[in-house]
Amino acid sequence: MARFSANLGFLWANLPLLERIEKAAAAGFKAIELHWPYDTPAADVKAACKKLGLTLLGINTHLGDTSQGESGLAGLPGRQKDFRKGFQQTLQWCTESGANSIHVMAGVVPTNLIDKGILMMIENVKWAADLAAEHNITILLEAINERDKPAYLYSRQSQANAIRAACQRDNVKLMFDVYHVGVSEGDILKKLEQFLPHIGHIQIAAVPSRAEPDEGEVRYEVVIEHIDALGYKGWIGAEYKPRAGVEEGLEWLKPYTRH
């Protein structure tokens, strides 16, 4: 049976983080995942999750200078020092909060620097994975579609997986976001089969709208059934942008929570 986590980067996004955590628990979620929670003390998040019986999954590394269009630093030539400083802050927040994974964001890389960017990404992820392994924390690599994030270092599962393989670290896994796969390349069911041994987390949202996973061109009842059939035991992150209020959009979840 599929298990769903609430991605609080998108759900109840207008509320302070601790209130979002309460909302997720009240809605019946048993796990949460975050984007950039650094403004909230890690100890407060850990206490809230313990009180509400929630599992805290992943967080993202820092974006960098968003005013300059940065969206992650790990694959940016010349920014290694900044990435590593930021990652140490992320790892500390992660360990203090009880989170179990970190999405290392590669960043937007000019076409003429892609080869250097990939080498930089591999070097940085190896370093990060070794630090994270000391705390039993997983490093996640997510291919982000080119429509939403033009020039992101990688947009396809095969590209992310090649970097994962090059890192040669057991705690480096793929974040398989069905939405991004649907926009970038399609063939979702076959790609789930192909990359399942290397998937550390799955996320979902409607294609192409990124709203609740009950509209658009992807039949999520089929996708979820396939994920179950493949034997995936991890969480599936509800990382979508609600059409209106979060609670009124949760009808999509009911068929998967009946016993």
**Given 96, 123, 193, 239, the catalytic residue:** 239
**Given 22, 96, 134, 142, the catalytic residue:** 142
**Catalytic residue check, 142:** yes
> What CA dihedral angle connects 250, 179, 167 and 58, to 10 degrees?
-20
Closest CA to 125 of 156, 152, 102, 155: 102
**Catalytic residue check, 96:** no
**Residues carrying an active site annotation:** 142, 239
